[in-house]
Copies of this chain bind each other. A is one copy, B any other.
Amino acid sequence: MEDGFCICIVGLGLMGGSLALALRASDDDRSAAGLWPRESAASAWRSARIVAVTRNQQALAAARTANAIDDGSGDLAEGVSAADVIVLATPVRTIVRMLAEVGQHARPGALVLDLGSTKSAVCAAMAGLPDGLQPVGGHPMCGKETAGFAAAEAGLFRNRPFVLCPLPRTQPCALQRAESLARAVGGRPIVLDPATHDRAVAGISHLPYALAVALVRTVEAAADPVAWSLASSGFRDTSRLAASDADMMLDILFTNREAVVGWLDACTGQLAMVRDALAAGDDTTLRACLAGAQTRRAGLTV
C-alpha cells in the first residue's frame, strides 16, 4: 500500500473498534498471541493511517490510548474526505442513512465497505453512491452480546467467515482490496449476494436471537422466583443472545423483516410439532424429533 494510505472507520463500537485493533496489531503481537498466521497482506494494511469518526468521546479516547487510531473526528464529511477505504461500522439503519453523505464527500476511487449484519438494504443504498466510488457490503460473522469499544478485541475476526457482497458495478480490484482487508484482520472472506446472505443469517443468527428474547420474556412473565433461582448453564446459553444491544438488533430485524418472519413461522411450526407430540403422548414422533436434532447438533462444528 502506498504511503499516506488512509482508512476511515465510522463507528468505534465492538466491530469498528475490533477492526482498528486488528489492523494495528503488530506481526509480533499476532504471532506471540497466536492470533492468526502472519500474512503479507496484514503488514501492508498495518502501515495505513486510521481515522475514526464517532461522537463518542469516551470511545475515541480509549482507542487513542490503545493506539488503535491515528486521529478522530465527530464530523463524517471531514473523516471520509481523505480516505482510500471507508468502513461503516454503525447499526444498519444508520449505515443506510449515512451513505448519501458519504457519497458527497468521499474521494473518487475510494472503497466503501460496511460491517452491518444485514446486506440487502445496505447494498441497495450503496447502489446510489456516485459512479467513482467502489462499494462492497461486508459482514464479519462474529459478535458478542456485549457492545462498545470496551468489548472490542483484535482477535474478534480470527478464523470467522467475513461475508463480502460486491455490487454489479464494483471493480474486481476493489473486491480484492476488501478481501485483503478481511484476511488482514484474520477473517475468511466469502463472496455472497445480499439476498442469499440475508436469508441465511436470518436462520442462524436472527432466529436464535428472537428465540432467546421469547425465552427470557416467558420466564419473566411467569414471575416465578424459584425458576430464576434454579437457572443453570442450559438457560444461560440458550438465552445469551437476548442480552444483545436492542437498538442494533432492531435495525437488523427491520432490514431483514421478510426473511426473519419466514424463519419465525417455520420455527413456530417445529415448536408446535414438539408440543403436540408431547401433549398427545406420542412417544414415537417425539423420540424421532429429539433424536434427529441430537444427531444434527452433535455434528455441528463452530
User: CA–CA, A302 to B210, complex, Å?
Assistant: 21
Pick from B142, B200, B230, B302: contact of A224, CB below 8 A: B200
Chain B contacts for A302, CB-based, 8 A: 231-233, 235-236
Contact flag A216-B275 (CB < 8 Å), given A243-B298, A266-B222: no
User: CA–CA, A199 to B218, complex, Å?
Assistant: 13
Please tell me if A245 contacts chain B, counting CB pairs below 8 Å: yes
**A257 engages B230 (CB within 8 Å):** no
Number of copies: 2
**Count of interface residues, chain A, beta-carbon cutoff 8 Å:** 92
**B211 engages A211 (CB within 8 Å):** yes
User: CA–CA, A291 to B217, complex, Å?
Assistant: 11
Contact string, A41-69, partner B, CB cutoff 8 A, digits 1/0?
00000000000000000000000000000
Chain B contacts for A197, CB-based, 8 A: 226, 230
Chain B contacts for A245, CB-based, 8 A: 294
User: CA–CA, A242 to B235, complex, Å?
Assistant: 12
CB distance from A165 to the nearest CB of B (A): 13
Please tell me if A100 contacts chain B, counting CB pairs below 8 Å: no
Contact string, A264-289, partner B, CB cutoff 8 A, digits 1/0?
11111011101100110101001101
**A240 engages B242 (CB within 8 Å):** no
**B234 engages A209 (CB within 8 Å):** yes
User: CA–CA, A302 to B141, complex, Å?
Assistant: 26
User: CA–CA, A11 to B151, complex, Å?
Assistant: 44
**A226 engages B196 (CB within 8 Å):** yes
**A203 engages B216 (CB within 8 Å):** no
**B163 engages A239 (CB within 8 Å):** no
Please tell me if A261 contacts chain B, counting CB pairs below 8 Å: yes
Binding site for B on A (CB under 8 A): 141-145, 160-161, 163, 190, 192, 196-197, 199-201, 203-205, 207-222, 224, 226-247, 249-250, 253-254, 257, 260-261, 263-268, 270-272, 274-275, 278-279, 281, 283, 286-287, 289-294, 296-298, 300, 302
Q: Please, could you name 17 A-B residue pairs with CB atoms under 8 Å apart, sorted by A?
A: A161-B229, A204-B228, A204-B231, A207-B215, A212-B238, A213-B274, A222-B266, A237-B237, A246-B293, A250-B290, A257-B279, A261-B278, A264-B275, A267-B271, A268-B268, A268-B272, A268-B275
